[in-house]
Structure 1
C-alpha cells in the first residue's frame, strides 16, 4: 500500500465523521440556510486565511530544510526531557492492550484530522464570523510557535531515544501510517506536541463558543484529551511535549481572543458584537441609569 492509498483511507474515514458531525452538531436546518453566512464569513476571514497559508508554507519549508538548520543553531534537549520524566512513557505503555492501541491509533490519525478540519466547516456555516476568525488566528499562532521551536530545539521522541523500552505502537499495528506521518513531520520535531496544542486549542475555542454549537464542546474535549494521551501512549511524544503543547494552546487562544475582539473586518461583519472596552462603557451606563 502506497502513500496515496493511505491518504485515501484517512480522507474517506474523515468524510464519514464529517457527515455524522454535520448532522448532529450543525443540523440540517442551518446547512440549508447557510449560503449567505458562508459568503460573508469568507470575506471577513480572508486575511487570516492568507496568513495561515503563508505560515503553513513556511512550515513545509522548515520541515524539509529546517532539520539541517536546527543542527547548526538548535539545542538538543532530548536528554534534559528524559532527565525530567524518566520512563513515564514506558510505564504508560505497560497498560497497552490491542483495543487501546486500536483506539489511540485511530484518534491520533483520523480523529486528529477530523478535529482540526470540522470546526472550520462548522464555524463557516454560522452567522457570526468571530469563531472562525479566532480559530484561524489560533492555528496561525500554533504553527508559528511550532516553526520556531522545531528550529530552536532538537528533540527525539521516546520511541527513538529509548527503543528498548518504548515501542512504536502505531507503526507496529498499522505500518502504512508511517508513509503519511513522515510527510508531515520529522523525528527530531517533537517539542512541543502540535497534536496536543492544536487539539486543545479546538477544545478551548469550542468552550468559548459553546453557545454556537453546544454539542460540539463535549465531542471536542473528548477527542482532544484522547489525542493528547495517544501521543504518549503510542511512544511518539514525551509528557513534557504534551505539557508544552497545553501551554501553546493557551497562548494561541489568548492571542486569538484579542485579535477577534479588535479585528475591524470581523467586527464590520458582526454589528451586534461590540469590543470589550465598549461593552464595559455601555454596561456602566446601564448600571448608572438603573441605580
Structure 2
C-alpha cells in the first residue's frame, strides 16, 4: 500500500479505503443507477432526508453505543456471558483449517480486498442507489436493516463470548488477511474484538444488502448480480481468512434474513 507514504499507517489505510470506495461508487453510480437517476438526486434527496431522518438517527445511536461501549460490554460478556468457543469447535472441528490448507497467494490477496474494500462498497453503494429512487421505502428499509443487524449483533456479542478459529488453532489457522496486506491490521484492530465472532456481522450485513438488492431486481438488475457476487465473496472470505467459524457465518445468514423479513414486513 504505497499511497500517502508520509502518513501514519491507520490514516493511510483509511484514505486508501475512502478513495477506493469513492471511485467504486462513482463507477457503479454511472453504470448501475444511470445518469438520469443521478441527475434526479437533486430532486429526490431533500424529501428522502426528511423521511429517513429517524432511521439515520437510530443507526447513529447504535453505532455510537457500539464504538464507545464495546469494551464495557466485552467485560460483561467475559464475566457473565456464555462461553461457546469449545461448543463451536466441537461441532465444526477443523473446517476453517482445512479451508486454509488450500490457500493460494492470489486467492488470499483477492479475498483480503473483498473482505475490506468489497464489504465497504456493499454497505455504501446502496445508499446512493436507493436515494435515487422516487420512493424512500427501500432506503428506509436499508437503514432499518443496518440498525437491526448492529443492535442484535451487539446484544448477542454481549451474551455469547467466543473466540475465532485463529485464536483456538493458532498452529493451524493464521490471520491470512495480514499476510499480503499487513496494513489492514491497523484498521481492523480499531474495529474488531477477537471475542466478538458470533454471529459474523460481515456476513449478516453483506447478505442483508444482497437480499434487499434482490427485492429491487426489476429496478437494478445489475446490482442484484453484483451484490450477490460480492456478498458471497465476503461471506467466504471471513472463513478463508481465519476470522470466523462456519457457524458464525450460518448465524450471520439467519440474522440477515430475519432483519430483511422484519423491515420488509413493517417498514413502508
Q: Does the TM-score normalized on the shorter chain lie above 0.5?
A: yes
Taking structure 2 as the reference length, the TM-score comes to: 0.95
Q: CA deviation at 1:145?
A: 0.8
Paired residue for 1:72? 79
Q: CA deviation at 1:220?
A: 0.3
Moved more, 159-168 or 26-35: 26-35
**Contact 2:109-2:181 within 8 A present in 1 as well:** no
Q: Does 1:103 align with 2:113?
A: no
Cα offsets for 1:157-209 (capped at 9, x unmatched): 10111110111100122121111011111000000000000000000000011
**Contact 1:137-1:259 within 8 A present in 2 as well:** no
Paired residue for 2:123? 116
Q: Does 1:238 align with 2:245?
A: yes
1:6-25 pair list within 5 angstroms? 6-25=13-32
Q: Does 1:45 align with 2:52?
A: yes
Structure 2: state its 5+ residue gaps: 1-7
**Aligned partners of 2:239 and 2:215: how far apart in 1?**
27
Q: CA deviation at 1:34?
A: 2.0
- What number of residue pairs does the alignment pair up? 261
**Aligned partners of 2:139 and 2:225: how far apart in 1?**
19
**Aligned partners of 2:170 and 2:30: how far apart in 1?**
43
Q: Does 1:216 align with 2:216?
A: no
Q: Does 1:83 align with 2:94?
A: no
**Aligned partners of 2:132 and 2:80: how far apart in 1?**
44
- 1:83 is paired with a residue of what secondary structure? helix
Q: Which runs of 4+ in 1 moved over 6 A?
A: none
**Aligned partners of 1:134 and 1:156: how far apart in 2?**
32
**Contact 1:63-1:185 within 8 A present in 2 as well:** no
Q: CA deviation at 1:128?
A: 1.2
CA RMSD across the alignment: 1.0
**Aligned partners of 2:207 and 2:137: how far apart in 1?**
19
Paired residue for 2:61? 54
Paired residue for 2:39? 32
- Of structures 1 and 2, the larger Rg is shown by 1
